[in-house]
Amino acid sequence: MATPTYSNQPGDIAVQTVDLVRRFGERAAVDNLNLSIERGEIFGFLGPNGSGKSTTIKMLCGLLSPTSGSATVCGMDVATDPELIRSRIGYMPQKFSLYEDLTVQENLDFYAHLYGVNGAEGKRRKQEVIDLVGIGPYQRYLGRQLSGGWKQRLALCCALVHEPEIIFLDEPTAAMDPVARRELWDLLFSLASSGVTLFVTTHYMDEAERCSSVGYIYNSRLIVSGGPDELKQAREVVGQGQVRYELMCRPLVASFNKLKQLQYVNDVTIFGQALHVVGDNALTADLLRTQCAEAGIDARDIRKIEPSLEDVFVALTKAHEAQSTLPDVRPPETVLTKTWDVIQPVLRPIIQKFSATTAASPEEAPPNG
Amino acid sequence: MANLFSSIVQAVRNVAGFLSSATWSGIQSVVKKELIQLFRDPFLVAFIVLLPIAQLLVTGLAISKDLKHIPVVVCNYDNRNDSLELVKTFQNSVFFTVGADDFVDSETELDRLIRKGAYRVGLVIPPDYSRSLLKPNDTPTVRIAIDGSNANIARSIQAMSNLVLSYHTALVASQNPLAATVSALQKTPIESVVHVLYNPDLKTAYFLIPGILALIMHMMTILFTSFAIVRERESGTLEQLMATPIRVSDLMIGKVIPYAIIGLADMLLTLGVMVWFFNISISGSFWLLLINSLVFIVTSLTIGLLISTTCKSQVQAVQLTLALLLPSMMISGFVFPLEPMPWFVKIFSYLLPITHYLEIIRGVVIKGSGFAELWGYTVVLLALSAVLLATSMMRFKKQVA
């Protein structure tokens, strides 16, 4: 196996895509994706279901070939060196994809063997990942006997056994309870601190807040990427001269309805016991307070707040929804519709001719008939 | 033809390429994993061990008995000694039985019973049978009524009754000088002595049981591998597997090897049933048969592999396997001889591996053929498995990329 050329300096690019496109039929699942992820980062890839997150990961792991554009992983092109890339990355699919009828140990042995991690080195490495993940007590359990959290840990074990430089995790915490979720993230942090690059897709905003950089994909397009703090300053979120306040009101719902009527107030949302008000720049805290007093709202603890990532993504999604319409999707074809498409041009003139003659016949009929 | 040849050469070259790219450690880990999974599933082990034996026993027992002791319904209008002698000859032959209840009074009753399906054959003796037997210029005519709805059985019954009648004619001739002149007139000018080679008793079992064995093993081994990759695709494990640097050749060969071993074990079991239960001994070399069986098993496994790379679900794989079953029975020479088939059917026949293996197993078991007679079939089987393996590898490559 040829030694790939890559340097291990900090600030290296681990994953880069240039105008990456993947189409399924006419529909683009990923459209002109441009990403750049630095080595050692935890990159959070966010977006609603079906927005193209998994497709992107599969392309980067060499499981799907791009329709156009290019992607480099560990400095190698996914189109030309998929095998070399695979030996240096780890992949954890969305669904548990290890053998349910093999034990934890057997699954790990199998994957270690496939990655060429053998002998004393293999033994050491396997013990290392078992200790790291803490799956030791479950070694003799069958895959199917594990709970969701432990299944994911086993998958992580198998994805880590060959000391990959990058790990791709497709919604690793989707089916996990909060405790298991927290523990997995602690694991991911410790991995990142040891220099591994993590590419994680998720739905959870609190997870996104923990990433060192975030990309948001919507409708197959990357809308924004950057550090979570950078995103909160994005033009779509704050650039339009918007301010955010949090206030405590009682009664909550009545105040919520009254607040919406106030001047300069654009949006009000309920956050637990508090209300978040989004308004124009002209809305100062004092103005809000006097307005509340005039409207008879019992508002306390008014303070200016930063937008959360959720606010960012909601604002971005709304901005893009306004721009783009749903792609025009044809109903699925069947043999019958296809046949109809073929015979239609032949049949139509005949039908027209027929209907023309029947329509014309009463006129041609003699008046006394 | 040259085109076909060159494409076969290309396929063999591809396989050689794939084989040389295969790594032993990759194959080893897949084989190990497959064997662990296999033996962890008691239902699957039972399926693999018991099913072929049970199938061979049931189908073998069902077909191994040749027609014997067929009940005959008799309408005897004559009822004199000579006619009773004729009935007795029928009764004494191994082919027929005539019981006390098997006599009817009229021909219409006899026809009705045959139409009803109560009897397959009836014997009608005319009232003047004994008299015409004694008249020098007269030949007695008896009527044999046969149910022709199953042509095969009817043909056998016809042959048997002719045999019985001619035997009886000779018997009568030896006892009755007057009748002897009658039989002398009927006597055929040329007598032939037929010497049946290899299966002197012309037992159907000899011919059919090796064929059934081949068919059972064919279906079993195709099913083994047709599940092999589809199952992993359905459960999602294939996706994880493909994200590792495993080579396609390693995966394919790693999937074939464990099932080839198990297929060979199954083959030994079923051959044991054939030899010790059905008493069909292997006339030729056992080792020649075993090596050829291994080649046949590998060919079947590669068919399964191709099905596996084509199908998206296990249900589809089963359907495709079943679709292959019918031609494997009908146009492979398993039941119907290949010779009278039109050429375009024959092309498909010779593309089926089982056609060639039937020649091999029947050759070795019944005729005692050796390598010199059979090597051609072995070569065809090897070529077929090479083409199939190469095709499945190429198909699979595309799906991954």
Whether residue B25 and residue A83 make contact (CB cut-off 8 A), yes or no, is no
Cβ-contact A300, A273 below 8 angstroms = no
Compute CA distances A39 → A7, A36, A74, A81, A193, whole Å. 11, 10, 9, 19, 11
Determine, yes or no, domain membership for A158: yes
B239 close contact with A: CB closer than 8 A: yes
Last residue of a domain, one of A250, A282, A307: A307
Determine, yes or no, domain membership for A319: no
Mutate to test the interface with B, among A22, A60, A63 (most CBs of B within 10 A): A63
Last residue of a domain, one of A231, A258, A279: A231
B366 and B336, same structural domain?
Answer: yes
pLDDT tens-place string over residues B280-328: 888 889 999 999 999 999 999 999 999 988 888 888 888 888 888 888 8
A263 and A208, same structural domain?
Answer: no
Q: What is the mean pLDDT of residues B247-271?
A: 91
C-alpha distance across the termini of chain A, in Å: 94
B341 close contact with A: CB closer than 8 A: no
A197 and A137, same structural domain?
Answer: yes
Residue A279: CATH number of its domain: 3.30.70.100
Measured between beta carbons, which residues in chain B are less than 8 angstroms from residue A99?
A: 33, 37, 237
What's the pLDDT score for residue A2?
38
Whether residue A106 and residue B33 make contact (CB cut-off 8 A), yes or no, is yes
A212 and A190, same structural domain?
Answer: yes
Share of chain B above pLDDT 90, in %: 24
Residues 15-54 of B with CB under 8 A from A: 25-26, 28-29, 32-33, 36-37, 40-41
A319 close contact with B: CB closer than 8 A: no
Q: On the CB side of A56, how many CA atoms lie within 13 Å of its CA?
A: 36
The mean predicted confidence, pLDDT, of chain B is 83
**A14 CA to centre of own chain:** 19
A82 close contact with B: CB closer than 8 A: yes
What's the pLDDT score for residue B202?
59
B380 and B275, same structural domain?
Answer: yes
Q: What is the mean pLDDT of residues B34-46?
A: 89
A39 and A150, same structural domain?
Answer: yes
Q: Which of B26, B236, B244 sits opposite A93 (nearest CB)?
A: B236
Determine, yes or no, domain membership for A4: no
User: How close is the nearest chain B Cα to the Cα of A270, in Å?
Assistant: 41
B276 and B362, same structural domain?
Answer: yes
Determine, yes or no, domain membership for B125: yes
A106 and A19, same structural domain?
Answer: yes
Separation CA A156–CA B240 (nearest Å) = 12
A246 and A117, same structural domain?
Answer: no
Is the model's pLDDT at B218 over the cut of 90?
Answer: yes
Determine, yes or no, domain membership for B382: yes
What's the pLDDT score for residue B354?
93
User: How close is the nearest chain A Cα to the Cα of B153, in Å?
Assistant: 46
B124 and B262, same structural domain?
Answer: no
Q: Which of B29, B36, B41 sits opposite A114 (nearest CB)?
A: B29
Task: Tokens for A100, please give them.
Answer: 């349910």
Whether residue B33 and residue A65 make contact (CB cut-off 8 A), yes or no, is no
Determine, yes or no, domain membership for B318: yes
Separation CA B394–CA B15 (nearest Å) = 10
What's the pLDDT score for residue A6?
40
What's the pLDDT score for residue B289?
93
pLDDT tens-place string over residues A131-164: 888 888 888 899 888 888 888 889 988 988 888 9
Last residue of a domain, one of A276, A307, A338: A307
Task: Tokens for B125, please give them.
Answer: 């003796």
Is the model's pLDDT at B185 over the cut of 60?
Answer: no
Residue A144: CATH number of its domain: 3.40.50.300
Of B32, B243, B258, give the one whose Cα is nearest residue A105.
Answer: B32
Determine, yes or no, domain membership for A313: no
Chain B residue with minimum CA distance to A1: B245
Measured between beta carbons, which residues in chain B are less than 8 angstroms from residue A86?
A: 243-245
What's the pLDDT score for residue B33?
92
Compute CA distances A300 → A243, B192, B374, whole Å. 18, 121, 98
Determine, yes or no, domain membership for A50: yes
A252 and A113, same structural domain?
Answer: no
* H runs (alpha helix) in B135-203: 151-175, 177-186
Last residue of a domain, one of B125, B153, B185: B185
B91 is in which domain, residue-wise?
Answer: 68-185
A225 and A280, same structural domain?
Answer: no
Whether residue B244 and residue A101 make contact (CB cut-off 8 A), yes or no, is no
A193 and A47, same structural domain?
Answer: yes
A295 and A146, same structural domain?
Answer: no
How many contacts does A have with B, using Cβ atoms within 8 A?
A: 65
User: How close is the nearest chain A Cα to the Cα of B233, in Å?
Assistant: 10
Measured between beta carbons, which residues in chain B are less than 8 angstroms from residue A84?
A: 245
B91 and B19, same structural domain?
Answer: no
Is the model's pLDDT at B192 over the cut of 60?
Answer: no
B377 and B238, same structural domain?
Answer: yes
Whether residue A110 and residue B239 make contact (CB cut-off 8 A), yes or no, is no
Determine, yes or no, domain membership for A294: yes
pLDDT: which is higher, A325 or B364: B364
Separation CA A245–CA A263 (nearest Å) = 14
Whether residue B240 and residue A86 make contact (CB cut-off 8 A), yes or no, is no
Determine, yes or no, domain membership for B190: no
Determine, yes or no, domain membership for B272: yes
Whether residue B236 and residue A96 make contact (CB cut-off 8 A), yes or no, is yes
Determine, yes or no, domain membership for A287: yes
Domain count, chain A: 2
What's the pLDDT score for residue B297?
95
- What ipTM was estimated for this complex? 0.74
What's the pLDDT score for residue B10?
73
Determine, yes or no, domain membership for B195: no
Q: What is the mean pLDDT of residues B211-228?
A: 90
B401 close contact with A: CB closer than 8 A: yes
B135 and B224, same structural domain?
Answer: no
| Amino acid (1-letter code) at residue B188 | T
B382 and B244, same structural domain?
Answer: yes
B237 and B289, same structural domain?
Answer: yes
Measured between beta carbons, which residues in chain B are less than 8 angstroms from residue A61?
A: 243
pLDDT tens-place string over residues B58-69: 988 887 666 778
Compute CA distances B16 → A35, B9, B21, B383, B389, whole Å. 41, 10, 9, 12, 11
A141 close contact with B: CB closer than 8 A: no
Domain count, chain B: 2
Last residue of a domain, one of B124, B154, B185: B185
A78 is in which domain, residue-wise?
Answer: 13-231
Q: Which of A63, A65, A86 sits opposite B245 (nearest CB)?
A: A86
Separation CA B211–CA A340 (nearest Å) = 48
- DSSP code per residue over A282-334: T--HHHHHHHHHHHT--EEEEEE-PPPHHHHHHHHHHHHHHH-PPP--PPPP-
Last residue of a domain, one of B131, B151, B185: B185
Specify the length of chain A in residues. Answer: 369
C-alpha distance across the termini of chain B, in Å: 33
Element at B42 (helix H, strand E): helix B42-64
Measured between beta carbons, which residues in chain B are less than 8 angstroms from residue A100?
A: 235
Whether residue A93 and residue B400 make contact (CB cut-off 8 A), yes or no, is no
Determine, yes or no, domain membership for A355: no
pLDDT tens-place string over residues B382-396: 999 999 998 888 888
Cβ-contact A87, A162 below 8 angstroms = yes
Compute CA distances A27 → A60, A318, A327, B364, whole Å. 19, 22, 8, 59
User: How close is the nearest chain A Cα to the Cα of B363, in Å?
Assistant: 43
B233 and B312, same structural domain?
Answer: yes
| Amino acid (1-letter code) at residue A238 | V
**A328 CA to centre of own chain:** 23
What's the pLDDT score for residue B401?
43
| Residue stretches of chain A with pLDDT short of 50 | 1-10, 363-367, 369
Q: What is the mean pLDDT of residues B359-370?
A: 89
A131 and A104, same structural domain?
Answer: yes
B250 and B396, same structural domain?
Answer: yes
B140 and B81, same structural domain?
Answer: yes
B240 close contact with A: CB closer than 8 A: yes
Measured between beta carbons, which residues in chain A are less than 8 angstroms from residue B246?
A: 114
| Amino acid (1-letter code) at residue A264 | Y
A91 close contact with B: CB closer than 8 A: yes
Measured between beta carbons, which residues in chain A are less than 8 angstroms from residue B245?
A: 83-84, 86-87, 114-116
- How open is the CA angle A203-A209-A215, to the nearest 5 degrees? 65
A160 and A214, same structural domain?
Answer: yes
Candidate from B87-101, B183-197, B328-342 with smallest mean pLDDT: B183-197
